[in-house]
Structure 1
Amino acid sequence: MPDEELVRRVAETTGLSPAEAARVVEDVIAWHGETVEEYVRRRHAHHQTYGRRNEETFALIARELKRRPFAAPELTTRQLRRIVYG
């Protein structure tokens, strides 16, 4: 279940039912939950389907990556400590 406060906010601001809002939130979270590698492979396959050449495809993907948030990698406790304490 996604964050209840977020679901409530989406439902209130859109007129969706709580169940519909939850599905929307889950879908958006899943969409942005892709890793960089998954995104690049998916977009490359998409562009190949439409006959784009790799040179053009990679340039497009590089531009897209600059605007897209990605799921954070899993970090160990040690890595988290290093972020905080250096």
Structure 2
Amino acid sequence: MPTSSDSDLVARIVASTGLSPAEAARVVEDVVAFHAEPVEEYVRRRHAQLKTYGRKNPEIFARIAEELADRVVAAPALSERQLRRIVYG
């Protein structure tokens, strides 16, 4: 269920893009869900994605640490060891 601010955002997207209200609402829901992903899930997902493309762990963990710093809701700073523990337990 959208909040008042979500409704305002949906209306702004409708006005600026020409999307229907239903399409704009879906976009807002998708973006909110993306940013609501817990840090541990994000790290595991990105690690798997980057491994698929042949990246090595030192490069992967450095990249994930940079990405986490740039997220809208900043994740805590995690060391390479902490990132490894999320991925490997």
What is the correspondence of 1:55-74 to structure 2 with a 5 Å cutoff? 55-70=58-73
The letter for the 1-side match of 2:21 is: P
Identify the residue that residue 86 of structure 2 maps to in structure 1.
Answer: none
**Which of 4, 7, 28 is 1:4 aligned to?**
7
Identify the residue that residue 49 of structure 2 maps to in structure 1.
Answer: 46
CA deviations on 1:10-40 (whole Å, 9 max, x unpaired) are: 1111111101100111111111111111111
CA drift of 1:9 comes to: 1.3
* Larger Rg, first or second structure (1 or 2): 1
Task: Say what the alpha-carbon RMSD is for the aligned residues.
Answer: 1.7
TM-score by length of 2: 0.73
TM-score by length of 1: 0.75
CA drift of 1:44 comes to: 0.3
Separation in structure 1 between the aligned mates of residue 38 and residue 74 of structure 2, nearest angstrom: 6
Name structure 1 gaps, 5 residues minimum.
73-86
Q: Helix, strand or coil: the match of 1:52?
A: coil
**Which of 4, 13, 16 is 2:19 aligned to?**
16
Extract structure 1 runs of 4+ deviating beyond 4 A.
none
Separation in structure 2 between the aligned mates of residue 36 and residue 55 of structure 1, nearest angstrom: 19
